[in-house]
Amino acid sequence: MYLYNSATHKKAEFTTHTPGHVEMYTCGPTVYHFAHIGNLRSYIMEDVLEKFLRYEGYDVNRVMNITDVGHLASDADTGEDKMLKGAKREHKSVMEIARFYTDAFFQDCKKLNIKTPDVVEPATNCIDDYIKIVSTLIEKDYAYLAGGNVYFDTSKLPRYYIFNDHDEEDLAVGVREGVEEDVNKRNKNDFVLWFTKSKFEDQALKWDSPWGVGYPGWHIECTGISLKHNGEYLDLHCGGVDNAFPHHTNEIAQSESFLGHPWCKQWFHVHHLNTNTGKMSKSKGEFLTVSLLEEKGYDPLSYRFFCLQSHYRKALVFSWENLSNAQGAYQKLIKRIAALNPKDGEADAAAVEEYKQKFLQQVGNDLNTSMGVTALYDALKAKTNDATKLAILGSFDEVLSLSLLEKAAALREREAAQATSAAGGYTITGEGDAAVDALVLQRYEAKKAKNFAEADRIRDELKAQGIEITDTKEGASWRRV
């Protein structure tokens, strides 16, 4: 696989510290609110990357943090802790907020077919790890105590700015109007490793430390969690492009100073999801969630399909029209796959392997997911039997995770049931759910057999699911209410 490396600004062959094994770290969510679909674009692309590496034959250990303390409203060590801000907004404790939005995040991931990482670690679980790292950085003279806080001294580094090819807007996250200068810093780029109560008297979560009661800075969390679960040599670090500075820049500074050797080989940054008015962000109020997409009638996997049609290193423009076009294309793709006959011959293993190798080459060129989508249509046009086409599509979907075969099978079953009921003079119309169609048909068969008790039982079962049935001259129609 060839992958662009944000640290070297070049595309190169992907290699690992231990042959055949990938230590992968993903910056997780700060769980003070729902994730918006711009956040989730990054997680979709990181999910595809992990699945592609496994598809290619690597053993992958993927670690992700959950930030439940220490991430301030400004990335420049100023403003209120985002978790405390969320707790005040909803009149709950910080840990109640953390649990609720962590669960919500993983529910969204499930709807988008995003695999849960091998290790998910809340930041509050590793306080002792951060204290050990900060203590070592002080001993090595990379950190200093000032005003009650512990700061990393960036002047000790031969090179601080690593990701200097990003747009100025991306690099200026921590340099906003209204940000007060921290007079305790020796240098403008220094950052906090540990806050004490001198910073925020009302901070909800605090721990004892050699420097006073306080809590860790945001950046030290990822270093501590990665060193704990990935070891001293990290192969692949992922995140949104807005994490490149200052977050990932500071991770590199503190990690390599602590370890005394290079830390991470490969940096993978996903670019923004934009609206017509600019970058999507919670602070701007453009708060599009997976639940909102569902409320408007979109399948979350249509959004995944939408993301896969673009390259991860290009900004993607979201509009309802663009999403509708993606959903239409996705539904047509499912319909074409449903038209294939699973009983048409045996799968040709050699043909499946041939297509897999093409897929590896195409998508393996800097995670070119748009070529992965194109490969699906190429498989449909292959000069082979339907069983082989389905096997090829199933193979590709191990990476793309669009539930192609499952949705096609459900559509095939639904259409067969409708054809059967139509042939018997009874037509079912509804919202495209084979399980509901089957129950409606069972109710009809029970009524036809004068088993009214069973018919009423099925009606009550459907009602409990929020399904309303209307009998018609041709059969029945149903809808969710």
What ranges do the domains of the chain cover?
A: 2-270, 290-406, 424-480
- Residue 348: pLDDT band with limits 50, 70, 90: very high
232: closest CA among 269, 204, 261, 208?
Answer: 261
Cα separation of 219 and 238, whole Å? 14
426: closest CA among 413, 442, 409, 410?
Answer: 442
414: closest CA among 388, 447, 440?
Answer: 440
Q: Look at residue 66 in the predicted model and tell me its pLDDT.
A: 96
Cα separation of 214 and 80, whole Å? 14
The b/e string for 445-472 (b: 16+ C-beta within 10 A; e otherwise) is ebbeeeeeeebeebbeebeeeebebeee
Residue for token pair 């008015």:
277
258: closest CA among 236, 293, 304, 226?
Answer: 226
The first and second tokens of residue 46, run together, are 């990181």
The first and second tokens of residue 427, run together, are 């037509």
> pLDDT tens for residues 152-210?
999 999 999 998 754 444 444 334 334 456 788 999 899 999 998 655 566 678 899 99
Q: Say if residues 174 and 52 touch (Cβ distance below 8 Å).
A: no
Phi, psi of 296 (to 5 degrees): -90, 5
318: closest CA among 331, 302, 332?
Answer: 302
Averaged pLDDT score across all residues of the chain: 89
Q: Look at residue 172 in the predicted model and tell me its pLDDT.
A: 41
Residue 8 has pLDDT above 50, yes or no: yes
- Residue 73: pLDDT band with limits 50, 70, 90: low
Q: What burial class does residue 139 get, using C-beta atoms within 10 Å of its C-beta: 0-12 exposed, 13-18 middle, 19+ buried?
A: exposed
Q: Would you say the CATH fold of 290-406 matches that of 2-270?
A: no
Segment 343-349 long-range contacts (CB within 8 Å, at least 24 positions apart): 343/387, 344/385, 344/386, 344/387, 345/385, 345/386, 345/387, 345/388, 346/385, 346/387, 347/387, 347/388, 347/390, 347/391, 348/384, 348/385, 348/388, 348/391
Q: What is the mean pLDDT of residues 440-444?
A: 87
Phi, psi of 10 (to 5 degrees): -140, 155
Phi, psi of 95 (to 5 degrees): -70, -30
Order of strands, sheet of 427-429, starting from the edge strand that comes earlier in the sequence:
427-429, 475-480, 467-471
| Spatial CB neighbours of 425, under 8 Å, sequence gap ≥ 6 | 474, 475
CATH code, 2-270: 3.40.50.620
Q: Look at residue 11 in the predicted model and tell me its pLDDT.
A: 97
CATH of 290-406, one of 3.40.50.1400, 1.20.120.1910, 2.60.40.10, 3.40.50.150: 1.20.120.1910
The first and second tokens of residue 389, run together, are 């086409």
Task: State the Cα torsion 433-438-439-441 to the nearest 10°.
Answer: 120
Q: Return the percentage of the chain with pLDDT > 70, whole number.
A: 89
Q: Say if residues 408 and 338 touch (Cβ distance below 8 Å).
A: yes
Antiparallel, parallel or unpaired: β 72-74 and 316-317: unpaired
Q: What is the mean pLDDT of residues 287-294?
A: 92
Antiparallel, parallel or unpaired: β 119-122 and 59-66: parallel
Antiparallel, parallel or unpaired: β 78-81 and 191-196: unpaired
> pLDDT tens for residues 448-459?
899 999 999 999
